[in-house]
Structure 1
């Protein structure tokens, strides 16, 4: 595929709404031809991304391809130089920051703090967008924190110090903090960095099973093939290909985008809804 072949994802007649109504295609968080420059260089160049509601989308590409920058644009942390990010059809710049914070949660690569906090206190930070300044926690806040701890398997660690946790456990706490926000969209920037294989699989299984729209920047193509419904491949800021992992992750694409040789085979485990590619890299 070439950049000209890339579409946000196919639209159907049901996506077209009468005047004054929000179409299905406009629902959720989407980027339309966004561009961002830094140091006189295009970091993101005309990228469109429209994740289907409830899907898990992987952002793939080599280092410096624009994955983290695109996530920050989606989160509203960075403004695009051109193009627009919308939330349910409204430009993100016109949506209040508190509304965005309630709706979109972000998990960065390496969250840290010098403050002595317990696991529960970190997770409770996710409720800040739902509370007025200096107001006490409500019953709804406490229930959201308990549910987030339970869903991430951290209930028995609630009183434990954040600083005593392993890297995988800290990432799980950050996901719990994000879930406490009660978001509909979850953005994760290289969440498996520095994790061993077991923690990588556990963390991505958790994310893929959440009833949310998730966009995840990943390096590992096999992990993307296992856990993502769709992938978008970036190269030097340009959307090079998009679609299902089976459609996109090919030997030709890996050679062109990553500059390495690979053998790609198709797997279809019993009980899985879709086939998926399995990648074995070769020495050049």
Structure 2
């Protein structure tokens, strides 16, 4: 068992952000959450992480409501990578990754040998061993995102949630980062804007429009010309020419508002 959202709804400022969303994650798979700006992607990830509480419905972790579980217990299981992170404190890459061990340590307790092993392993998984002593403020955007993933991996989670991790990255870093994420032996949810990246790296997709689920399934089942026109108001040509026969989308222009 893993994370599950059952008929979750959430409002903000008098506006309904999510409306009766269901999501049952499949262990060990990468699920992409798609939708236009304002469709509820980030809100859904925060509900799954237990950062927000649903107004209606429930999020469960191993069958138990996540809001009833101790926050430290949830943090040991579920790691979150936000869109961007920054700090004014002078930290090295290793310092940032060590923050992932906080849920496993008592307050003010020094790092244990197990903590340091987890940090070294996370740095290696993210390809950052050679950057361990670099200062955070000297890193590029792509390197900072890798450090945030390493911090999340140092938590030794079973579930990893990433909110638009490719924002502001160049194409090479987008591909490198998502290849890293897809190869991890974790149950992963990633909110994305780029449909072709979602088709390349996700096993399953959930598509939101105005806070409601409009499609779910494999990339080949979900990413159709009709769905792209309905959700994004864009004309597209979809062919099975991506890696492994996955769909590839060529955008042809916008459609008038519905």
Does the pair score TM above 0.5? yes
How do 1:1-284 and structure 2 match up within 5 A?
A: 27-267=1-241, 269=243, 272=244, 275-284=245-254
Deviation digits for residues 57-116 of structure 1, max 9, x if unmatched?
Answer: 000000000000000000111000000000000010111100000000000001111111
Q: Distance in 2 between matches of 1:177 and 1:99?
A: 17
Q: Distance in 2 between matches of 1:77 and 1:95?
A: 12
Deviation digits for residues 114-171 of structure 1, max 9, x if unmatched?
Answer: 1110000000000000000010111100000000001111001000000000000000
- Residue 240 of structure 2 aligns to a residue whose secondary structure is strand
Tell me how far 1:267 sits from its aligned partner: 2.5
**RMSD in angstroms over aligned alpha carbons?**
0.7
- Residue 282 of structure 1 aligns to a residue whose secondary structure is strand
- Residue 219 of structure 1 aligns to a residue whose secondary structure is coil
Q: How many equivalent pairs are there?
A: 254
Q: Distance in 2 between matches of 1:267 and 1:227?
A: 14
Q: Distance in 2 between matches of 1:100 and 1:260?
A: 39
Tell me how far 1:33 sits from its aligned partner: 0.6
Matching residue of 1:8 = none
Q: Distance in 2 between matches of 1:100 and 1:280?
A: 40
Q: Distance in 2 between matches of 1:118 and 1:268?
A: 39
- Residue 206 of structure 1 aligns to a residue whose secondary structure is helix
Deviation digits for residues 216-238 of structure 1, max 9, x if unmatched?
Answer: 00000000000000000000000
- Residue 30 of structure 1 aligns to a residue whose secondary structure is strand
Runs of 4+ in 1 over 6 A off after TM superposition: none
Q: Distance in 2 between matches of 1:40 and 1:150?
A: 45
Q: TM-score, normalised by structure 1?
A: 0.88
Matching residue of 1:11 = none
Q: Distance in 2 between matches of 1:258 and 1:170?
A: 30
Deviation digits for residues 11-45 of structure 1, max 9, x if unmatched?
Answer: xxxxxxxxxxxxxxxx1011001000011111010
